[in-house]
Protein backbone atom coordinates (compact mmCIF):
# COMPACT_ATOMS: atom_id res chain seq x y z
CA UNK A 1 0.00 0.00 0.00
CA UNK A 2 1.23 3.44 -0.97
CA UNK A 3 1.59 5.86 1.93
CA UNK A 4 0.97 9.52 1.17
CA UNK A 5 3.44 12.11 2.37
CA UNK A 6 2.36 15.28 4.21
CA UNK A 7 3.17 17.56 1.29
CA UNK A 8 1.14 15.35 -1.05
CA UNK A 9 -1.88 15.58 1.28
CA UNK A 10 -1.38 19.33 1.43
CA UNK A 11 -1.20 19.43 -2.36
CA UNK A 12 -4.52 17.54 -2.71
CA UNK A 13 -6.25 19.77 -0.14
CA UNK A 14 -5.14 22.93 -1.90
CA UNK A 15 -6.19 21.54 -5.26
CA UNK A 16 -9.65 20.69 -3.89
CA UNK A 17 -9.97 24.22 -2.51
CA UNK A 18 -8.84 25.75 -5.79
CA UNK A 19 -11.45 23.76 -7.66
CA UNK A 20 -14.36 25.32 -5.82
CA UNK A 21 -14.94 23.19 -2.72
CA UNK A 22 -15.60 25.92 -0.17
CA UNK A 23 -16.98 24.11 2.86
CA UNK A 24 -14.23 22.83 5.17
CA UNK A 25 -16.15 19.69 6.09
CA UNK A 26 -16.58 18.78 2.45
CA UNK A 27 -12.90 19.51 1.79
CA UNK A 28 -11.85 17.12 4.55
CA UNK A 29 -14.30 14.41 3.47
CA UNK A 30 -13.11 14.55 -0.12
CA UNK A 31 -9.45 14.70 0.95
CA UNK A 32 -9.81 11.48 2.95
CA UNK A 33 -11.67 9.82 0.12
CA UNK A 34 -9.09 10.75 -2.51
CA UNK A 35 -6.28 9.68 -0.17
CA UNK A 36 -8.02 6.31 0.35
CA UNK A 37 -8.32 5.80 -3.40
CA UNK A 38 -4.67 6.68 -3.98
CA UNK A 39 -3.42 4.53 -1.13
CA UNK A 40 -5.37 1.47 -2.28
CA UNK A 41 -5.07 1.80 -6.02
CA UNK A 42 -1.76 3.53 -6.78
CA UNK A 43 1.23 1.37 -7.58
CA UNK A 44 4.52 2.21 -5.93
CA UNK A 45 6.19 3.05 -9.26
CA UNK A 46 3.39 5.38 -10.44
CA UNK A 47 3.84 9.14 -10.50
CA UNK A 48 1.74 10.74 -7.72
CA UNK A 49 0.48 13.84 -9.52
CA UNK A 50 -0.31 11.97 -12.75
CA UNK A 51 -2.23 9.35 -10.82
CA UNK A 52 -4.08 12.01 -8.84
CA UNK A 53 -5.10 13.77 -12.08
CA UNK A 54 -6.26 10.48 -13.57
CA UNK A 55 -8.61 9.55 -10.72
CA UNK A 56 -10.06 13.03 -10.16
CA UNK A 57 -12.63 12.87 -13.03
CA UNK A 58 -14.36 9.99 -11.17
CA UNK A 59 -15.68 12.59 -8.75
CA UNK A 60 -17.62 14.76 -11.21
CA UNK A 61 -19.22 15.08 -14.62
CA UNK A 62 -18.28 18.70 -15.38
CA UNK A 63 -15.96 19.89 -12.58
CA UNK A 64 -15.30 19.34 -8.89
CA UNK A 65 -17.33 22.42 -7.94
CA UNK A 66 -20.54 20.54 -8.71
CA UNK A 67 -20.16 18.53 -5.45
CA UNK A 68 -20.20 21.81 -3.52
CA UNK A 69 -23.18 23.06 -5.52
CA UNK A 70 -25.10 19.83 -4.98
CA UNK A 71 -24.37 19.96 -1.22
CA UNK A 72 -25.56 23.57 -1.01
CA UNK A 73 -28.71 22.65 -2.87
CA UNK A 74 -29.48 19.75 -0.57
CA UNK A 75 -28.75 21.83 2.53
CA UNK A 76 -31.02 24.66 1.42
CA UNK A 77 -33.62 22.09 0.46
CA UNK A 78 -33.93 21.31 4.14
CA UNK A 79 -34.58 25.01 4.87
CA UNK A 80 -36.92 25.07 1.89
CA UNK A 81 -39.52 22.97 3.70
CA UNK A 82 -39.21 24.98 6.91
CA UNK A 83 -39.47 28.24 4.97
CA UNK A 84 -42.47 27.00 3.04
CA UNK A 85 -44.18 25.99 6.27
CA UNK A 86 -43.51 29.36 7.93
CA UNK A 87 -44.65 31.13 4.75
CA UNK A 88 -47.96 29.28 4.62
CA UNK A 89 -48.61 29.68 8.36
CA UNK A 90 -47.73 33.38 8.38
CA UNK A 91 -49.93 33.87 5.31
CA UNK A 92 -52.88 32.20 7.06
CA UNK A 93 -52.17 34.17 10.24
CA UNK A 94 -52.02 37.53 8.49
CA UNK A 95 -55.13 36.83 6.40
CA UNK A 96 -57.16 35.85 9.47
CA UNK A 97 -55.95 38.68 11.72
CA UNK A 98 -56.42 41.22 8.92
CA UNK A 99 -60.00 40.08 8.24
CA UNK A 100 -60.84 40.17 11.97
CA UNK A 101 -59.25 43.64 12.22
CA UNK A 102 -61.16 44.91 9.19
CA UNK A 103 -64.49 43.60 10.51
CA UNK A 104 -63.83 45.15 13.96
CA UNK A 105 -62.91 48.43 12.30
CA UNK A 106 -66.07 48.52 10.18
CA UNK A 107 -68.15 47.78 13.27
CA UNK A 108 -66.25 50.37 15.36
CA UNK A 109 -65.34 47.74 17.95
CA UNK A 110 -62.19 47.86 20.12
CA UNK A 111 -59.06 45.92 19.13
CA UNK A 112 -59.34 46.69 15.41
CA UNK A 113 -55.98 48.47 15.25
CA UNK A 114 -54.11 45.63 17.00
CA UNK A 115 -55.45 43.00 14.58
CA UNK A 116 -54.84 45.13 11.50
CA UNK A 117 -51.31 45.92 12.71
CA UNK A 118 -50.51 42.24 13.36
CA UNK A 119 -52.02 41.18 10.04
CA UNK A 120 -50.18 43.69 7.88
CA UNK A 121 -46.85 43.44 9.72
CA UNK A 122 -46.76 39.63 9.45
CA UNK A 123 -47.81 39.89 5.80
CA UNK A 124 -45.09 42.46 4.98
CA UNK A 125 -42.20 41.10 7.00
CA UNK A 126 -42.79 37.34 7.03
CA UNK A 127 -45.12 36.13 4.31
CA UNK A 128 -44.08 38.36 1.40
CA UNK A 129 -40.27 38.12 1.93
CA UNK A 130 -40.44 34.31 2.30
CA UNK A 131 -42.68 33.96 -0.73
CA UNK A 132 -40.28 36.15 -2.68
CA UNK A 133 -37.17 34.17 -1.60
CA UNK A 134 -38.78 30.84 -2.46
CA UNK A 135 -40.02 32.07 -5.84
CA UNK A 136 -36.66 33.67 -6.68
CA UNK A 137 -34.93 30.34 -5.95
CA UNK A 138 -37.25 28.55 -8.34
CA UNK A 139 -36.47 30.96 -11.19
CA UNK A 140 -33.43 30.38 -13.37
CA UNK A 141 -33.29 33.64 -15.29
CA UNK A 142 -32.15 36.88 -13.67
CA UNK A 143 -34.90 38.96 -15.29
CA UNK A 144 -37.59 36.78 -13.69
CA UNK A 145 -35.87 37.18 -10.31
CA UNK A 146 -35.86 40.97 -10.81
CA UNK A 147 -39.60 40.97 -11.60
CA UNK A 148 -40.33 39.05 -8.37
CA UNK A 149 -38.07 41.41 -6.38
CA UNK A 150 -39.85 44.52 -7.66
CA UNK A 151 -43.27 42.96 -7.08
CA UNK A 152 -42.27 42.19 -3.47
CA UNK A 153 -41.11 45.75 -2.82
CA UNK A 154 -44.39 47.05 -4.28
CA UNK A 155 -46.44 44.61 -2.17
CA UNK A 156 -44.66 45.53 1.08
CA UNK A 157 -44.84 49.26 0.42
CA UNK A 158 -48.53 49.40 -0.53
CA UNK A 159 -49.46 47.23 2.47
CA UNK A 160 -47.49 49.50 4.81
CA UNK A 161 -49.04 52.57 3.16
CA UNK A 162 -52.49 51.10 3.87
CA UNK A 163 -51.49 50.41 7.48
CA UNK A 164 -50.14 53.96 7.92
CA UNK A 165 -53.29 55.39 6.33
CA UNK A 166 -55.60 53.38 8.60
CA UNK A 167 -53.54 54.31 11.68
CA UNK A 168 -53.37 58.01 10.67
CA UNK A 169 -49.58 57.87 10.83
CA UNK A 170 -47.45 60.34 8.87
CA UNK A 171 -46.04 59.65 5.36
CA UNK A 172 -48.93 57.32 4.41
CA UNK A 173 -49.77 59.32 1.29
CA UNK A 174 -46.15 59.52 0.15
CA UNK A 175 -45.74 55.74 0.60
CA UNK A 176 -48.99 55.15 -1.27
CA UNK A 177 -47.93 57.30 -4.23
CA UNK A 178 -44.39 55.84 -4.29
CA UNK A 179 -45.76 52.29 -4.35
CA UNK A 180 -48.18 53.12 -7.18
CA UNK A 181 -45.24 54.78 -8.98
CA UNK A 182 -43.22 51.55 -8.59
CA UNK A 183 -46.17 49.57 -9.97
CA UNK A 184 -46.76 51.73 -13.04
CA UNK A 185 -43.29 52.89 -13.96
CA UNK A 186 -41.07 50.01 -12.82
CA UNK A 187 -42.90 46.74 -12.29
CA UNK A 188 -45.32 46.93 -15.20
CA UNK A 189 -42.74 47.84 -17.91
CA UNK A 190 -40.22 45.25 -16.67
CA UNK A 191 -42.91 42.56 -16.36
CA UNK A 192 -44.44 43.38 -19.74
CA UNK A 193 -41.24 43.52 -21.77
CA UNK A 194 -39.69 40.41 -20.23
CA UNK A 195 -42.87 38.37 -20.72
CA UNK A 196 -43.84 39.51 -24.19
CA UNK A 197 -40.58 38.41 -25.81
CA UNK A 198 -41.30 34.80 -25.00
CA UNK A 199 -43.85 33.25 -27.36
CA UNK A 200 -45.13 30.90 -24.63
CA UNK A 201 -45.87 33.64 -22.11
CA UNK A 202 -46.90 36.37 -24.58
CA UNK A 203 -50.70 36.10 -24.27
CA UNK A 204 -50.63 35.59 -20.49
CA UNK A 205 -48.32 38.59 -20.08
CA UNK A 206 -50.68 40.83 -22.07
CA UNK A 207 -53.73 39.70 -20.08
CA UNK A 208 -51.94 40.00 -16.72
CA UNK A 209 -50.57 43.43 -17.66
CA UNK A 210 -54.08 44.67 -18.48
CA UNK A 211 -55.35 43.30 -15.15
CA UNK A 212 -52.46 44.89 -13.22
CA UNK A 213 -53.00 48.20 -15.04
CA UNK A 214 -56.73 48.14 -14.26
CA UNK A 215 -56.23 47.15 -10.60
CA UNK A 216 -53.51 49.82 -10.20
CA UNK A 217 -55.76 52.36 -11.93
CA UNK A 218 -58.59 51.54 -9.54
CA UNK A 219 -56.27 51.97 -6.54
CA UNK A 220 -55.11 55.29 -7.98
CA UNK A 221 -58.73 56.42 -8.47
CA UNK A 222 -59.41 55.55 -4.84
CA UNK A 223 -56.40 57.62 -3.77
CA UNK A 224 -58.02 60.58 -2.10
CA UNK A 225 -55.38 62.85 -0.73
CA UNK A 226 -57.94 65.48 0.33
CA UNK A 227 -61.27 65.47 2.12
CA UNK A 228 -64.27 65.67 -0.18
CA UNK A 229 -65.46 69.01 -1.57
CA UNK A 230 -68.72 68.55 0.32
CA UNK A 231 -66.96 68.09 3.67
CA UNK A 232 -64.69 71.06 2.99
CA UNK A 233 -67.60 73.33 2.07
CA UNK A 234 -69.68 72.41 5.13
CA UNK A 235 -66.63 73.09 7.31
CA UNK A 236 -66.07 76.49 5.64
CA UNK A 237 -69.75 77.38 6.03
CA UNK A 238 -69.63 76.58 9.72
CA UNK A 239 -66.61 78.90 10.02
CA UNK A 240 -68.60 81.67 8.31
CA UNK A 241 -71.42 81.18 10.82
CA UNK A 242 -68.98 81.17 13.73
CA UNK A 243 -67.44 84.43 12.53
CA UNK A 244 -70.90 85.98 12.21
CA UNK A 245 -71.84 84.77 15.69
CA UNK A 246 -68.64 86.25 17.19
CA UNK A 247 -69.33 89.57 15.44
CA UNK A 248 -72.95 89.59 16.63
CA UNK A 249 -71.94 88.80 20.22
CA UNK A 250 -69.35 91.55 20.08
CA UNK A 251 -71.93 94.10 18.85
CA UNK A 252 -74.42 93.06 21.55
CA UNK A 253 -71.76 93.40 24.25
CA UNK A 254 -70.77 96.88 23.04
CA UNK A 255 -74.40 97.94 23.51
CA UNK A 256 -74.84 96.17 26.84
CA UNK A 257 -71.64 97.53 28.40
CA UNK A 258 -72.40 101.11 27.34
CA UNK A 259 -75.12 101.30 30.02
CA UNK A 260 -74.18 103.64 32.90
CA UNK A 261 -75.66 101.31 35.52
CA UNK A 262 -72.77 98.87 35.19
CA UNK A 263 -69.97 98.84 37.74
CA UNK A 264 -66.50 100.10 36.99
CA UNK A 265 -65.13 96.56 37.38
CA UNK A 266 -67.56 95.24 34.76
CA UNK A 267 -66.52 97.99 32.37
CA UNK A 268 -62.87 97.19 32.98
CA UNK A 269 -63.58 93.58 32.04
CA UNK A 270 -65.27 94.80 28.87
CA UNK A 271 -62.18 96.84 27.99
CA UNK A 272 -59.97 93.84 28.62
CA UNK A 273 -62.23 91.77 26.34
CA UNK A 274 -62.07 94.40 23.62
CA UNK A 275 -58.29 94.58 23.85
CA UNK A 276 -58.02 90.79 23.65
CA UNK A 277 -60.31 90.59 20.61
CA UNK A 278 -58.34 93.31 18.84
CA UNK A 279 -55.09 91.38 19.49
CA UNK A 280 -56.68 88.22 18.08
CA UNK A 281 -58.07 90.02 15.02
CA UNK A 282 -54.64 91.55 14.34
CA UNK A 283 -52.99 88.13 14.59
CA UNK A 284 -55.64 86.67 12.27
CA UNK A 285 -55.08 89.45 9.70
CA UNK A 286 -51.35 88.73 9.84
CA UNK A 287 -51.94 85.02 9.38
CA UNK A 288 -54.30 85.60 6.44
CA UNK A 289 -51.75 87.83 4.71
CA UNK A 290 -48.96 85.28 5.41
CA UNK A 291 -50.97 82.38 3.97
CA UNK A 292 -52.40 84.11 0.88
CA UNK A 293 -49.71 82.77 -1.46
CA UNK A 294 -48.95 86.34 -2.55
CA UNK A 295 -52.57 87.19 -3.47
CA UNK A 296 -53.37 90.59 -2.03
CA UNK A 297 -56.62 91.57 -0.34
CA UNK A 298 -58.02 88.07 0.20
CA UNK A 299 -60.85 87.95 2.72
CA UNK A 300 -60.94 85.22 5.34
CA UNK A 301 -63.80 83.46 3.50
CA UNK A 302 -61.86 83.57 0.20
CA UNK A 303 -58.64 82.39 1.81
CA UNK A 304 -60.13 79.32 3.45
CA UNK A 305 -61.94 78.37 0.24
CA UNK A 306 -58.77 78.71 -1.86
CA UNK A 307 -56.08 77.52 0.55
CA UNK A 308 -58.05 76.25 3.57
CA UNK A 309 -56.46 72.80 3.61
CA UNK A 310 -52.86 74.08 3.42
CA UNK A 311 -50.81 72.85 6.32
CA UNK A 312 -47.70 74.37 7.91
CA UNK A 313 -48.54 78.04 7.21
CA UNK A 314 -50.37 78.52 10.50
CA UNK A 315 -47.74 76.60 12.48
CA UNK A 316 -44.89 78.52 10.83
CA UNK A 317 -46.58 81.84 11.52
CA UNK A 318 -47.63 81.18 15.11
CA UNK A 319 -44.79 78.97 16.40
CA UNK A 320 -41.01 79.11 16.23
CA UNK A 321 -38.95 76.16 14.95
CA UNK A 322 -38.73 74.75 18.47
CA UNK A 323 -42.53 74.50 18.57
CA UNK A 324 -42.85 77.39 21.08
CA UNK A 325 -45.62 79.95 20.59
CA UNK A 326 -44.33 83.20 19.06
CA UNK A 327 -44.66 86.52 20.93
CA UNK A 328 -48.16 87.56 19.79
CA UNK A 329 -49.82 84.23 20.54
CA UNK A 330 -47.96 83.89 23.85
CA UNK A 331 -49.16 87.40 24.79
CA UNK A 332 -52.77 86.47 23.98
CA UNK A 333 -52.49 83.50 26.33
CA UNK A 334 -51.09 85.71 29.11
CA UNK A 335 -53.82 88.29 28.61
CA UNK A 336 -56.51 85.58 28.56
CA UNK A 337 -55.16 84.33 31.89
CA UNK A 338 -55.30 87.87 33.21
CA UNK A 339 -58.88 88.24 31.88
CA UNK A 340 -59.94 85.05 33.65
CA UNK A 341 -58.23 86.06 36.88
CA UNK A 342 -59.86 89.50 36.89
CA UNK A 343 -63.30 87.96 36.31
CA UNK A 344 -62.87 85.41 39.05
CA UNK A 345 -61.16 87.55 41.73
CA UNK A 346 -62.62 91.02 41.21
CA UNK A 347 -66.06 90.14 39.86
CA UNK A 348 -66.27 86.95 41.95
CA UNK A 349 -67.47 84.85 39.03
CA UNK A 350 -67.07 81.09 38.57
CA UNK A 351 -64.27 79.95 36.24
CA UNK A 352 -65.60 79.16 32.76
CA UNK A 353 -64.67 76.09 30.70
CA UNK A 354 -65.04 78.22 27.59
CA UNK A 355 -61.76 79.98 28.31
CA UNK A 356 -59.86 77.21 30.02
CA UNK A 357 -56.12 77.46 29.34
CA UNK A 358 -55.14 74.16 30.87
CA UNK A 359 -53.09 71.49 29.13
CA UNK A 360 -55.21 68.80 27.45
CA UNK A 361 -54.70 65.23 26.21
CA UNK A 362 -53.71 65.10 22.56
CA UNK A 363 -56.69 63.96 20.43
CA UNK A 364 -58.46 63.46 23.78
CA UNK A 365 -56.50 60.20 24.28
CA UNK A 366 -54.61 59.60 27.53
CA UNK A 367 -51.90 57.47 25.83
CA UNK A 368 -50.92 60.41 23.60
CA UNK A 369 -49.86 62.55 26.59
CA UNK A 370 -50.70 66.17 27.35
CA UNK A 371 -50.18 69.18 25.13
CA UNK A 372 -50.54 72.90 25.84
CA UNK A 373 -53.58 75.05 25.06
CA UNK A 374 -51.81 76.81 22.19
CA UNK A 375 -50.55 73.53 20.66
CA UNK A 376 -54.02 72.01 20.90
CA UNK A 377 -55.74 74.93 19.19
CA UNK A 378 -53.22 76.29 16.72
CA UNK A 379 -50.31 73.92 16.03
CA UNK A 380 -50.05 71.58 13.02
CA UNK A 381 -53.53 72.38 11.80
CA UNK A 382 -54.80 73.56 8.43
CA UNK A 383 -55.37 77.29 7.83
CA UNK A 384 -59.13 76.74 7.92
CA UNK A 385 -59.04 74.94 11.27
CA UNK A 386 -56.65 77.48 12.83
CA UNK A 387 -58.83 80.42 11.77
CA UNK A 388 -61.96 78.59 12.94
CA UNK A 389 -60.35 78.07 16.37
CA UNK A 390 -59.52 81.79 16.55
CA UNK A 391 -63.16 82.62 15.70
CA UNK A 392 -64.36 80.20 18.36
CA UNK A 393 -62.05 81.93 20.85
CA UNK A 394 -63.46 85.35 19.88
CA UNK A 395 -67.02 84.10 20.39
CA UNK A 396 -66.11 82.45 23.72
CA UNK A 397 -64.51 85.66 25.03
CA UNK A 398 -67.70 87.56 24.18
CA UNK A 399 -69.91 84.91 25.81
CA UNK A 400 -67.87 84.87 29.01
CA UNK A 401 -67.71 88.66 29.03
CA UNK A 402 -71.53 88.81 28.78
CA UNK A 403 -71.81 87.14 32.18
CA UNK A 404 -70.66 90.42 33.74
CA UNK A 405 -73.85 92.35 32.95
CA UNK B 1 -23.21 -1.51 -13.69
CA UNK B 2 -26.52 0.32 -13.34
CA UNK B 3 -27.04 3.82 -14.65
CA UNK B 4 -26.60 6.74 -12.26
CA UNK B 5 -30.21 7.74 -12.97
CA UNK B 6 -31.43 4.50 -11.37
CA UNK B 7 -29.06 4.75 -8.42
CA UNK B 8 -29.86 8.41 -7.68
CA UNK B 9 -33.35 7.70 -6.34
CA UNK B 10 -32.16 4.94 -4.03
CA UNK B 11 -28.90 6.44 -2.77
CA UNK B 12 -30.35 7.59 0.55
CA UNK B 13 -31.98 4.18 1.13
CA UNK B 14 -28.72 2.33 0.39
CA UNK B 15 -26.65 4.52 2.74
CA UNK B 16 -29.19 4.33 5.57
CA UNK B 17 -29.61 0.57 5.30
CA UNK B 18 -25.86 0.06 5.26
CA UNK B 19 -25.32 2.33 8.27
CA UNK B 20 -28.10 0.63 10.25
CA UNK B 21 -26.27 -2.68 9.77
CA UNK B 22 -22.84 -1.26 10.60
CA UNK B 23 -21.85 0.72 13.65
CA UNK B 24 -19.99 3.50 11.83
CA UNK B 25 -18.57 3.94 8.35
CA UNK B 26 -16.60 6.56 6.43
CA UNK B 27 -17.28 7.73 2.88
CA UNK B 28 -14.76 5.60 1.00
CA UNK B 29 -15.74 2.58 3.05
CA UNK B 30 -19.40 3.02 2.06
CA UNK B 31 -18.55 3.09 -1.67
CA UNK B 32 -16.33 0.04 -1.34
CA UNK B 33 -18.89 -1.89 0.69
CA UNK B 34 -21.66 -1.24 -1.84
CA UNK B 35 -19.36 -2.22 -4.67
CA UNK B 36 -18.40 -5.42 -2.87
CA UNK B 37 -21.99 -6.38 -1.90
CA UNK B 38 -23.33 -5.83 -5.41
CA UNK B 39 -20.42 -7.37 -7.20
CA UNK B 40 -19.61 -4.02 -8.76
CA UNK B 41 -23.09 -3.58 -10.21
CA UNK B 42 -23.75 -0.53 -8.08
CA UNK B 43 -20.94 1.99 -7.80
CA UNK B 44 -21.80 5.08 -5.79
CA UNK B 45 -20.36 8.25 -7.27
CA UNK B 46 -18.58 10.57 -4.89
CA UNK B 47 -20.34 13.53 -6.49
CA UNK B 48 -23.66 12.19 -5.22
CA UNK B 49 -22.48 10.50 -2.00
CA UNK B 50 -20.97 13.45 -0.11
CA UNK B 51 -23.76 15.98 -0.73
CA UNK B 52 -26.28 13.36 0.48
CA UNK B 53 -24.18 12.50 3.58
CA UNK B 54 -23.83 16.19 4.49
CA UNK B 55 -27.53 16.84 3.96
CA UNK B 56 -28.54 13.85 6.11
CA UNK B 57 -26.16 15.02 8.82
CA UNK B 58 -27.80 18.48 8.76
CA UNK B 59 -31.23 16.84 8.98
CA UNK B 60 -30.23 14.90 12.08
CA UNK B 61 -30.54 11.51 10.37
CA UNK B 62 -26.80 10.85 10.75
CA UNK B 63 -24.22 11.83 13.32
CA UNK B 64 -20.51 12.09 12.75
CA UNK B 65 -17.38 11.23 14.60
CA UNK B 66 -14.07 12.74 13.58
CA UNK B 67 -10.92 10.62 13.92
CA UNK B 68 -7.33 11.48 13.09
CA UNK B 69 -5.96 8.94 10.65
CA UNK B 70 -2.23 9.45 10.25
CA UNK B 71 -1.92 12.95 8.96
CA UNK B 72 -5.51 13.61 7.90
CA UNK B 73 -8.98 13.66 9.35
CA UNK B 74 -11.56 10.94 8.75
CA UNK B 75 -15.25 11.49 9.32
CA UNK B 76 -17.21 8.42 10.47
CA UNK B 77 -20.95 8.43 9.94
CA UNK B 78 -23.41 6.59 12.15
CA UNK B 79 -27.20 6.47 12.11
CA UNK B 80 -29.38 8.19 14.76
CA UNK B 81 -32.69 6.93 16.20
CA UNK B 82 -34.56 9.23 13.81
CA UNK B 83 -32.37 7.89 11.04
CA UNK B 84 -33.35 4.31 11.88
CA UNK B 85 -37.03 5.20 11.47
CA UNK B 86 -36.31 6.94 8.17
CA UNK B 87 -34.28 3.89 7.06
CA UNK B 88 -37.15 1.47 7.67
CA UNK B 89 -39.63 3.85 6.01
CA UNK B 90 -37.36 4.15 3.00
CA UNK B 91 -36.84 0.39 2.71
CA UNK B 92 -40.60 -0.28 2.99
CA UNK B 93 -41.37 2.40 0.45
CA UNK B 94 -38.81 0.96 -1.95
CA UNK B 95 -40.16 -2.56 -1.46
CA UNK B 96 -43.65 -1.39 -2.37
CA UNK B 97 -42.19 0.48 -5.31
CA UNK B 98 -40.56 -2.73 -6.58
CA UNK B 99 -43.89 -4.59 -6.27
CA UNK B 100 -45.61 -1.85 -8.23
CA UNK B 101 -42.91 -1.86 -10.89
CA UNK B 102 -43.13 -5.66 -11.23
CA UNK B 103 -46.86 -5.33 -11.77
CA UNK B 104 -46.60 -2.29 -14.01
CA UNK B 105 -43.88 -3.66 -16.25
CA UNK B 106 -45.33 -7.17 -16.12
CA UNK B 107 -42.09 -8.71 -14.89
CA UNK B 108 -41.89 -12.34 -13.80
CA UNK B 109 -39.89 -12.43 -10.59
CA UNK B 110 -37.21 -15.12 -10.60
CA UNK B 111 -38.20 -17.62 -7.96
CA UNK B 112 -35.73 -19.45 -5.74
Q: How many structural domains are present in chain B?
A: 1
Cα angle for residues A29, B61, A30 (degrees, 5° grid): 10
pLDDT of res. B111 = 59
Residue B17, pLDDT above cutoff 90? yes
Are A135 and A187 part of one and the same domain? yes
- A348-352, B18-22, B92-96: least confidently modelled range: A348-352
Residue A58, pLDDT above cutoff 60? yes
pLDDT of res. B97 = 92
ipTM: 0.89
In a domain, B110, yes or no: no
In chain A, residues with a C-beta closer than 8 Å to the C-beta of B86 are none
Are A190 and A323 part of one and the same domain? no
Say what the pTM is. Answer: 0.51
In a domain, A217, yes or no: yes
Best of B55, B60, B67 to disrupt the A interface by mutation (most A CBs within 10 Å)?
B55
Q: Select from A187, A207, A222 the last residue of a domain.
A: A222
Nearest residue in B to A68, CA atom: B51
Asked if A74 is an interface residue toward chain B (Cβ–Cβ < 8 A), one would say yes
Are A169 and A317 part of one and the same domain? no
Mean pLDDT of A219-243: 82
**For residue A9, which of A32, A25, A26 has the smallest C-alpha distance?**
A32
Tell me the pairing of strands B25-26 and B62-69: unpaired
Task: Give every CB contact of residue B50 below 8 A, 6+ residues apart in sequence.
Answer: A26, A29, A30, A33, A67, A71, B27
Query: Concatenated DSSP letters for A360-405?
Result: EEGGG-GGG-EE-HHHHHHSS--HHHHHHHHHHHHHHHHHHHHTT-
**For residue A83, which of A127, A148, A140 has the smallest C-alpha distance?**
A127
pLDDT of res. A225 = 58
Look over chain B and give the mean of its residue pLDDT values, rounded to a whole number: 89
CB contact under 8 A, A74 and B55: yes
Within 13 Å, how many C-alpha atoms sit on residue B87's CB side? Answer: 18
Are A105 and A209 part of one and the same domain? yes
pLDDT tens digits along A80-101: 778 888 999 999 999 999 999 9
The DSSP output letter for A139 is -
pLDDT of res. B109 = 64
In a domain, A281, yes or no: yes
The DSSP output letter for A59 is G
Q: Select from A167, A189, A222 the last residue of a domain.
A: A222
Are A251 and A368 part of one and the same domain? yes
CB contact under 8 A, A33 and B48: no
Best of B5, B35, B53, B54 to disrupt the A interface by mutation (most A CBs within 10 Å)?
B54
In a domain, A394, yes or no: yes
pLDDT tens digits along B47-76: 889 999 998 998 889 999 999 988 889 999
We report the CATH number of the domain holding residue B11 as 1.10.10.10
Residue A110, pLDDT above cutoff 80? yes
Residue A12 — very low, low, confident or very high, per pLDDT cuts 50/70/90? Answer: very high
Three-state DSSP at B74 gives strand
Are A210 and A247 part of one and the same domain? no
pLDDT of res. A297 = 84
Are A240 and A304 part of one and the same domain? yes
Asked if A61 is an interface residue toward chain B (Cβ–Cβ < 8 A), one would say yes
**Pairs across A and B, CB distance < 8 A:** 69
In a domain, A273, yes or no: yes
In a domain, A64, yes or no: no
pLDDT tens digits along A357-387: 999 888 777 767 789 999 999 988 889 999 9
In a domain, B112, yes or no: no
* CA distance linking residue B106 with residue A233, whole number of Å: 85
pLDDT of res. A403 = 87
pLDDT of res. A16 = 93
A245 or A110: which carries more pLDDT confidence?
A245
pLDDT of res. A62 = 86
Give the domain range for residue A378: 229-402
B110 or A250: which carries more pLDDT confidence?
A250
Three-state DSSP at B26 gives strand
- The rounded percent of chain B whose pLDDT value lies above 90 is 65
In chain A, residues with a C-beta closer than 8 Å to the C-beta of B53 are 29
In a domain, A65, yes or no: no
Strands (E), B5-111: 25-26, 62-69, 72-79
pLDDT of res. A280 = 96
pLDDT of res. B85 = 92
Residue A311 — very low, low, confident or very high, per pLDDT cuts 50/70/90? Answer: confident
* CA distance linking residue A276 with residue A270, whole number of Å: 10
**For residue A309, which of A400, A402, A228, A203 has the smallest C-alpha distance?**
A228
pLDDT of res. A355 = 92
Q: How many structural domains are present in chain A?
A: 3
Give the domain range for residue B70: 4-104
In a domain, B111, yes or no: no
Are A218 and A120 part of one and the same domain? yes
The DSSP output letter for A56 is G
Residue B112, pLDDT above cutoff 60? no
pLDDT of res. B93 = 92
Are A277 and A147 part of one and the same domain? no
Strand partners, B75: B66
* CA distance linking residue A303 with residue A309, whole number of Å: 10
B-contacting residues in A 174-193 (Cβ below 8 Å)? none
In a domain, A369, yes or no: yes
Are A183 and A301 part of one and the same domain? no
In a domain, B67, yes or no: yes
Nearest residue in A to B77, CA atom: A29
Are A175 and A246 part of one and the same domain? no
Contact A377, A333 (CB under 8 A): no
In a domain, A190, yes or no: yes
Sign, CA dihedral A315-A321-A323-A328, equals: negative
* CA distance linking residue A71 with residue B48, whole number of Å: 9
**For residue A29, which of A71, A57, A76, A1 has the smallest C-alpha distance?**
A71
In a domain, B39, yes or no: yes
Amino acid sequence: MYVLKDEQIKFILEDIRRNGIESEELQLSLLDHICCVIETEMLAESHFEEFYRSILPRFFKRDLREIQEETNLLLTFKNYYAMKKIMLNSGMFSAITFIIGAVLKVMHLPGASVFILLGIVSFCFLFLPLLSILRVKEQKETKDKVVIGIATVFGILISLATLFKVMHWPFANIMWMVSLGILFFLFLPVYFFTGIRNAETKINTIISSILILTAGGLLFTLTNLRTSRWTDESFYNSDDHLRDAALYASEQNQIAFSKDTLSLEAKTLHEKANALCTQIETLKTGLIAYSSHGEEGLTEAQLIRNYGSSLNFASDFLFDHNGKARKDLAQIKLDLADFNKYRESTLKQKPSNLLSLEDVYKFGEKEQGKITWEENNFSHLSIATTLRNFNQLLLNIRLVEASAY
Amino acid sequence: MYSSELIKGTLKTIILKLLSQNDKMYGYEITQKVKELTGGKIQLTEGALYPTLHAMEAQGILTTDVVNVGNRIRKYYSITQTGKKVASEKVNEFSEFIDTMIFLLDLKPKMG
